Structure 1
């Protein structure tokens, strides 16, 4: 009789959550297999058997992040929301998520794999997060185009350029938070950014109140 392989003895989402925390805190290049083993409680054989490689585990951890804390970036694709409201919810929600003390600060996609030693696995890791950032930019641009079509965002700016402006702010939140900039200041900056996208004559205060950020702007947490 052919002997069946041993069944997995771990809960995959728990392993991915633990690995995500390691990559988020240390970055891809600095996260060693020893650290990943310690965090997940798995042997090297089990990790490689389940995920193929460190790169494979990282790719799965990124997907786990997008389905969890990083889900806030998907708000711009919610067609049930007013596009400008969706953009505001994404910006303010990003600040809230990245400053949440329950996990490492900043954004995993922005911080984890921008530099490396240049090996094949480092290059692959950078491609993984670069692909995700490209998806986020495309989602922001599509949302802005819907807002322009509805008259909620000024039409004299190229949507692709406005999308780069918004996405650059999103990526910069990580660095600002790690440098100690208070979340409330970032919420105020996000409101200013949204105000600049509105047609002439729209009040900046509308951005803070329309997406429920008024209380946060006054709460320097």
Structure 2
């Protein structure tokens, strides 16, 4: 009985190569031809379907791969051994460095995923990215709440409002990275946005800002 030719590529590496394509172009704009050409220096359609089942299934694998690797730059938001201010700054700096480093597309696949699949037919594929964005947003808000609860920030500081400021800055880094803004400038901007924390700080003797 013929069993077919053995697979001529490393499957884990193939998922990584596909992840880079989806990260760069999004789901809708990445064609099957591009995927076949990128994997293992080129594979046939039968080999592609035998290995991955479909473009949709491969995309789901690449999203999981991203979230368990590059996407972990936000883990500090949930690390209670870190002071809340440090957790936020660490997250912003780690994410900026990841988004600007070489070896993969610029930006964040989670942030860029908002526009990855525009058709209703494929919108369900973005659910893990939607969940990741919501969790990151929750993480920033949680850090501000910790700051209020431990007396580091004024009791009147709004966790929702201040948390969303940091969250918005994080996801804006993707555009900056794609536009080629140098990492050094983004890192300086991170330190500037962290000055907002000091505005609400009890330690510095600041009054709670109006509005």
User: TM-score w.r.t. structure 1 length?
Assistant: 0.78
Aligned twin of 2:80 = 79
Aligned twin of 1:189 = 189
User: How far does residue 23 in structure 1 lie from its aligned partner after superposition?
Assistant: 0.8
Q: How many pairs are equivalent?
A: 201
Aligned twin of 1:124 = 124
1:1-221 mapped onto 2 (5 Å cutoff)? 10-41=9-40, 42-121=43-122, 123-198=123-198, 199=201, 202=204
Cα distance 1:57–1:202, how it changes in 2: closer, same or farther (>3 A)?
farther
Return 5+ residue gaps in structure 2 as ranges: 206-211
SS at match of 2:115: coil
> Contact 2:112 / 2:174 at 8 angstroms: preserved in 1?
yes
Which whole-Å deviations, capped at 9, do the CAs of 1:81-123 have from their partners, x for residues lacking one?
22211111101111111110221111111114515451412x1
Cα distance 1:155–1:113, how it changes in 2: closer, same or farther (>3 A)?
same
SS at match of 1:190: helix
> Contact 1:99 / 1:183 at 8 angstroms: preserved in 2?
yes
Which whole-Å deviations, capped at 9, do the CAs of 1:178-204 have from their partners, x for residues lacking one?
22322222222211222212315649x
Return the alpha-carbon distance in structure 1 between the equivalents of residues 60 and 99 of structure 2: 20
Cα distance 1:159–1:49, how it changes in 2: closer, same or farther (>3 A)?
farther
Return the alpha-carbon distance in structure 2 between the equivalents of residues 196 and 113 of structure 1: 27
Return the alpha-carbon distance in structure 1 between the equivalents of residues 6 and 78 of structure 2: 39
SS at match of 1:120: coil
Return 5+ residue gaps in structure 1 as ranges: 204-221
Which whole-Å deviations, capped at 9, do the CAs of 1:130-187 have from their partners, x for residues lacking one?
2221121122222222222223344322212222211111110011222232222222
> Contact 2:153 / 2:202 at 8 angstroms: preserved in 1?
no
CA RMSD of superposed structures (Å): 2.7
Return the alpha-carbon distance in structure 2 between the equivalents of residues 113 and 89 of structure 1: 24
User: TM-score w.r.t. structure 2 length?
Assistant: 0.81
